[in-house]
Amino acid sequence: MSLPPSDSHAGYSFEQDGIPDKKTLRRQLLAVRKAIPENLKKQYDHALCLRIKSWLKERAVKTISVYLPIRNEPDLAELYEVLSGKVQMALPYVPAKDSPLQFIAWQPGDELVEDAFHIPVPKAMQQVPMPEVLIIPCVGYTADRYRLGYGGGFFDRTLEGQDNILTVGVAYSCLKTNFQTEKFDMPLSVIITEAGAE
């Protein structure tokens, strides 16, 4: 669901009049996300946390992969505090450029260090099995729940053959778009935005 037109959102939606290549689209959507005013972004992040919490409450899961925000991604710290101590959380870790992700145990407050890709990871580096739910930030997403990421293909490689894993795409509703999918692209289980679940 896209945001309804209003003066308060003018300039923060992305209208597509064609299907650009993913590189161009990624650049445009990152600019849209960056342009969201900070006070509006905080409102969106709070709404996202409430919606994801509600979605998780309906499912008896014990292990969840989360993320720490970079490049203006939704900040879910409020949700992580609620989950802390109730479920095993983990952060994705990139062991090598063309390999699947690994998952490292994490709770809010754990000491972090940067990996080779300058992504924060827990210093303790306690590897855990693939979590039941992966919460995945999206640069953009489609009505069919396909995710546009940063182009590394890490989640696609990680999820290949893993049909029992629930994948939750997280994005702002103004980033709903369209792009040509490729054979290795896989739709997510659900996309959750500040406006609802799709």
Q: Tell me the CATH number at 144.
A: 3.40.50.10420
Residue 14 lies in a domain: no
pLDDT of residue 11: 39
- Report the 10 Å Cβ neighbour count for 186: 17
Residue 138 lies in a domain: yes
Rounded mean pLDDT, 44-52: 98
Residue 1 lies in a domain: no
Number of domains making up the chain:
1
pTM for this one? 0.87
Residue 63 lies in a domain: yes
pLDDT of residue 162: 81
Residue 71: exposure state from Cβ atoms within 10 A (0-12, 13-18, ≥19): exposed
Residue 166 lies in a domain: yes
160 and 125 Cβ atoms separated by less than 8 Å: no
Q: List, for residues 100-131, the tens digit of each pLDDT value.
A: 999 999 999 999 998 887 888 999 999 999 99
pLDDT of residue 106: 97
Rounded mean pLDDT, 133-161: 91
Q: Residue 53: pLDDT above 50?
A: yes
Residue 145 lies in a domain: yes
Residue 171 lies in a domain: yes
Two structure tokens written together for 128: 């855990």
* 47: containing domain: 20-197
Residue 56 lies in a domain: yes
Q: Residue 96: pLDDT above 60?
A: yes
pLDDT averaged over every residue in the chain: 88
